[in-house]
Amino acid sequence: MKNILLFILFICLSNIIKAQDTLTMRSGENILAKVIEVGTSEVKYKKLDNLNGPVFSMLKLDLLLIKYENGTKDDYSSIKKTDEKSVGVENLFIQGQNDAIVYYKGYKTAGTAALFSTLGTSFFTGMAIELITSDADIKDENLGYPNLNLMKNEQYFRGYQQKAKEIKRKKIHSNYILGLKIQGGLAILALITYVSLIASSK
Protein backbone atom coordinates (compact mmCIF):
# COMPACT_ATOMS: atom_id res chain seq x y z
CA MET A 1 0.00 0.00 0.00
CA LYS A 2 2.85 2.36 0.92
CA ASN A 3 4.62 1.67 -2.41
CA ILE A 4 1.42 2.44 -4.35
CA LEU A 5 1.04 5.80 -2.56
CA LEU A 6 4.69 6.67 -3.29
CA PHE A 7 4.19 5.76 -6.96
CA ILE A 8 1.07 7.98 -7.21
CA LEU A 9 2.95 10.84 -5.49
CA PHE A 10 5.85 10.42 -7.94
CA ILE A 11 3.48 10.57 -10.95
CA CYS A 12 1.78 13.73 -9.58
CA LEU A 13 5.11 15.45 -8.92
CA SER A 14 6.35 14.50 -12.40
CA ASN A 15 3.29 16.12 -13.97
CA ILE A 16 3.72 19.27 -11.88
CA ILE A 17 7.41 19.54 -12.82
CA LYS A 18 6.63 19.03 -16.53
CA ALA A 19 3.75 21.54 -16.51
CA GLN A 20 6.00 24.56 -16.87
CA ASP A 21 7.55 26.79 -19.48
CA THR A 22 11.22 27.73 -19.28
CA LEU A 23 12.53 31.12 -20.41
CA THR A 24 16.25 30.99 -21.16
CA MET A 25 17.78 34.45 -21.18
CA ARG A 26 20.85 35.53 -23.16
CA SER A 27 22.61 35.95 -19.81
CA GLY A 28 22.20 32.20 -19.25
CA GLU A 29 19.56 32.54 -16.52
CA ASN A 30 16.57 30.19 -16.68
CA ILE A 31 13.17 31.37 -15.46
CA LEU A 32 10.52 28.77 -14.67
CA ALA A 33 7.25 30.35 -15.73
CA LYS A 34 3.85 30.12 -17.36
CA VAL A 35 3.89 32.08 -20.62
CA ILE A 36 0.72 34.19 -20.93
CA GLU A 37 1.29 35.94 -24.27
CA VAL A 38 3.96 36.16 -26.95
CA GLY A 39 3.72 39.56 -28.64
CA THR A 40 5.67 41.11 -31.49
CA SER A 41 8.46 42.47 -29.30
CA GLU A 42 7.86 41.07 -25.81
CA VAL A 43 6.76 37.99 -23.88
CA LYS A 44 4.34 38.19 -20.94
CA TYR A 45 4.61 35.55 -18.25
CA LYS A 46 3.87 34.62 -14.64
CA LYS A 47 6.49 33.14 -12.35
CA LEU A 48 5.90 29.44 -11.67
CA ASP A 49 6.22 29.89 -7.91
CA ASN A 50 3.50 32.58 -7.92
CA LEU A 51 0.94 31.80 -10.65
CA ASN A 52 -1.66 33.96 -8.88
CA GLY A 53 0.78 36.86 -8.81
CA PRO A 54 1.62 39.65 -11.26
CA VAL A 55 2.23 39.34 -14.99
CA PHE A 56 5.79 40.27 -15.98
CA SER A 57 7.10 41.32 -19.40
CA MET A 58 10.40 40.57 -21.10
CA LEU A 59 11.78 41.72 -24.43
CA LYS A 60 12.37 39.01 -27.01
CA LEU A 61 15.77 40.65 -27.51
CA ASP A 62 16.75 39.49 -24.01
CA LEU A 63 15.60 35.92 -24.65
CA LEU A 64 17.55 33.06 -26.16
CA LEU A 65 14.84 30.39 -26.03
CA ILE A 66 11.39 29.53 -24.71
CA LYS A 67 10.79 25.86 -24.02
CA TYR A 68 7.09 25.15 -23.52
CA GLU A 69 5.59 22.49 -21.27
CA ASN A 70 4.52 20.42 -24.32
CA GLY A 71 8.14 20.19 -25.49
CA THR A 72 7.98 22.76 -28.32
CA LYS A 73 10.48 25.61 -28.49
CA ASP A 74 10.71 29.20 -29.73
CA ASP A 75 14.27 30.14 -30.63
CA TYR A 76 15.16 33.85 -30.46
CA SER A 77 18.94 33.47 -30.78
CA SER A 78 18.84 34.90 -34.32
CA ILE A 79 17.32 38.23 -33.19
CA LYS A 80 19.99 40.90 -33.25
CA LYS A 81 20.21 43.93 -30.98
CA THR A 82 20.59 46.34 -33.90
CA ASP A 83 19.78 49.51 -32.01
CA GLU A 84 21.14 49.33 -28.47
CA LYS A 85 19.82 52.82 -27.66
CA SER A 86 16.20 52.02 -28.55
CA VAL A 87 16.48 48.65 -26.78
CA GLY A 88 17.60 50.45 -23.62
CA VAL A 89 14.66 52.85 -23.83
CA GLU A 90 12.16 50.01 -24.24
CA ASN A 91 13.81 48.06 -21.43
CA LEU A 92 13.43 51.01 -19.06
CA PHE A 93 9.74 51.37 -19.95
CA ILE A 94 9.10 47.67 -19.23
CA GLN A 95 11.21 47.82 -16.06
CA GLY A 96 9.04 50.73 -14.91
CA GLN A 97 5.90 48.67 -15.51
CA ASN A 98 7.31 45.63 -13.69
CA ASP A 99 8.44 47.78 -10.74
CA ALA A 100 4.98 49.34 -10.46
CA ILE A 101 3.47 45.85 -10.11
CA VAL A 102 5.80 45.17 -7.18
CA TYR A 103 6.08 48.54 -5.42
CA TYR A 104 2.91 50.55 -6.10
CA LYS A 105 0.53 50.19 -3.15
CA GLY A 106 -1.29 53.53 -3.36
CA TYR A 107 -4.31 51.82 -4.94
CA LYS A 108 -5.32 50.46 -1.52
CA THR A 109 -6.48 53.87 -0.22
CA ALA A 110 -8.26 54.71 -3.49
CA GLY A 111 -9.90 51.27 -3.57
CA THR A 112 -11.13 51.54 0.02
CA ALA A 113 -12.50 55.04 -0.66
CA ALA A 114 -14.32 53.73 -3.75
CA LEU A 115 -15.89 50.90 -1.73
CA PHE A 116 -17.18 53.10 1.09
CA SER A 117 -18.34 55.89 -1.21
CA THR A 118 -20.32 53.33 -3.25
CA LEU A 119 -21.87 51.90 -0.09
CA GLY A 120 -22.83 55.34 1.17
CA THR A 121 -24.30 56.72 -2.08
CA SER A 122 -26.65 55.82 -4.90
CA PHE A 123 -25.70 53.72 -7.94
CA PHE A 124 -25.16 56.75 -10.20
CA THR A 125 -23.24 58.79 -7.61
CA GLY A 126 -20.98 55.80 -6.95
CA MET A 127 -20.39 55.42 -10.69
CA ALA A 128 -19.49 59.10 -11.04
CA ILE A 129 -17.03 58.85 -8.13
CA GLU A 130 -15.50 55.73 -9.68
CA LEU A 131 -14.98 57.43 -13.05
CA ILE A 132 -13.46 60.57 -11.52
CA THR A 133 -11.09 58.82 -9.10
CA SER A 134 -9.95 56.06 -11.49
CA ASP A 135 -8.97 58.60 -14.18
CA ALA A 136 -7.20 61.03 -11.85
CA ASP A 137 -3.41 61.26 -11.99
CA ILE A 138 -1.54 59.63 -9.12
CA LYS A 139 0.37 62.02 -6.86
CA ASP A 140 4.14 61.53 -6.81
CA GLU A 141 4.20 60.73 -3.10
CA ASN A 142 1.67 57.91 -3.62
CA LEU A 143 3.57 56.14 -6.41
CA GLY A 144 5.88 54.29 -4.01
CA TYR A 145 8.68 54.00 -6.59
CA PRO A 146 11.86 52.23 -5.45
CA ASN A 147 14.47 54.53 -6.98
CA LEU A 148 14.38 58.32 -7.42
CA ASN A 149 17.12 58.30 -10.08
CA LEU A 150 15.19 55.85 -12.24
CA MET A 151 12.05 57.98 -11.93
CA LYS A 152 14.00 60.84 -13.49
CA ASN A 153 14.20 58.78 -16.68
CA GLU A 154 11.20 59.65 -18.87
CA GLN A 155 10.67 56.11 -20.22
CA TYR A 156 10.91 54.45 -16.81
CA PHE A 157 8.56 57.07 -15.29
CA ARG A 158 6.06 56.65 -18.12
CA GLY A 159 6.05 52.85 -17.78
CA TYR A 160 5.73 53.02 -13.98
CA GLN A 161 2.98 55.64 -13.98
CA GLN A 162 1.00 53.93 -16.77
CA LYS A 163 1.00 50.57 -14.96
CA ALA A 164 0.24 52.22 -11.58
CA LYS A 165 -2.83 53.95 -13.10
CA GLU A 166 -3.96 50.65 -14.60
CA ILE A 167 -3.62 48.88 -11.22
CA LYS A 168 -5.47 51.71 -9.46
CA ARG A 169 -8.26 51.73 -12.06
CA LYS A 170 -8.80 47.97 -11.74
CA LYS A 171 -8.87 48.11 -7.93
CA ILE A 172 -11.35 51.01 -7.87
CA HIS A 173 -13.60 49.25 -10.39
CA SER A 174 -13.53 45.94 -8.51
CA ASN A 175 -14.33 47.71 -5.21
CA TYR A 176 -17.14 49.65 -6.90
CA ILE A 177 -18.64 46.34 -8.10
CA LEU A 178 -18.15 44.86 -4.61
CA GLY A 179 -19.96 47.86 -3.10
CA LEU A 180 -22.89 47.34 -5.50
CA LYS A 181 -23.05 43.65 -4.57
CA ILE A 182 -23.08 44.49 -0.86
CA GLN A 183 -25.81 47.09 -1.45
CA GLY A 184 -27.83 44.52 -3.39
CA GLY A 185 -27.33 41.89 -0.69
CA LEU A 186 -28.43 44.31 2.04
CA ALA A 187 -31.50 45.31 0.00
CA ILE A 188 -32.50 41.67 -0.45
CA LEU A 189 -31.93 40.98 3.26
CA ALA A 190 -34.06 44.01 4.20
CA LEU A 191 -36.82 42.83 1.85
CA ILE A 192 -36.77 39.30 3.29
CA THR A 193 -36.87 40.70 6.84
CA TYR A 194 -39.77 42.98 5.92
CA VAL A 195 -41.74 40.16 4.29
CA SER A 196 -41.07 37.93 7.33
CA LEU A 197 -42.34 40.63 9.71
CA ILE A 198 -45.48 41.15 7.63
CA ALA A 199 -46.11 37.40 7.49
CA SER A 200 -45.61 36.93 11.25
CA SER A 201 -47.91 39.83 12.13
CA LYS A 202 -50.87 38.21 10.34
| Residue-range domain boundaries for the chain | 20-81, 83-202
| Cα–Cα distance list, 191 to 49, 68, 185, 197, 202 (Å) | 46, 54, 10, 10, 17
d(CA 78, CA 36): 23
CATH code: domain 20-81 is 2.30.30.100
Please state whether the predicted TM-score (pTM) of the whole model is above 0.85: no
d(CA 181, CA 201): 30
Reading the chain (202 residues) residue by residue, the pLDDT tens digits are: 555 544 444 444 444 444 689 999 887 888 899 999 988 778 889 988 888 888 888 878 778 899 998 989 999 887 765 444 444 556 788 888 888 888 888 766 666 666 666 666 655 666 666 666 656 667 777 788 887 777 777 788 888 888 888 888 888 777 777 777 777 787 788 888 888 888 777 6
